[in-house]
Structure 1
């Protein structure tokens, strides 16, 4: 098979070129740079963009979207709670101005209130027009947001449809949603 984005074969370009083309990942387990400040982590997200006034405007936008990061901007990222680190990982990714945002298990290991906050942010990003490829075990919340959903078993797509269709599919409800 092949992986293409906007007609470009992604196997033929480097990771930094993928980011420059608008593909950015929020990795599973957050993977923030623990020994750098919150602000430096955010600025690293804009690495391919340089230090233009536009980047500084986007930094301010991240502080507006994630107010706790403004409060803790001089703290080391390793000092943040899990939920705050997830917000930092999301903010860092958004600093790259993605057109396709890959999110791997953003709710993993987080408290229910923080999960709700993370999914509200994902909903806002969707409304802003960012395409989001979300891998998430919290199927009911993910499908409630999804335009399209795919259920994988041992690496194969076994069911697909709109988020709404999958939420109402009896097999999906029994096997994956515990209903």
Structure 2
């Protein structure tokens, strides 16, 4: 009778052991890889790689653009790097764009004051997990979201959905 009770108890011990090990593994992974951590420079890399992807896969027509990264002008060293990568296109910081006009909201008679000129913007929207980010890039009539994945210290665009009006 004693052996039968021990045999019935063995599966229960296996289940408890498995669940305990699984819980410890989950706690270790949560400690080692917190859900949202951004390293220094991640936001800038995400924005720049999103801009590069947008320009490499069907840039807007034109030869002169004003740039806006995360709602502000790109740094001078970043602007120089962009100019070297695209030597046939003239890039300016968005703050140099002084052309204003009236833009329509799509509702008849409803307008607002906006900057004219070819403005290309890129924005880091969110770092969802440690290695996955969502960003946006576009111009006045084209744009879309880009999903990026961090591998080997670099942010790489692995999915994009860009459309034009």
Quick check: TM above 0.5? no
Structure with the largest fraction of helix: 1
Structure with the largest fraction of strand: 2
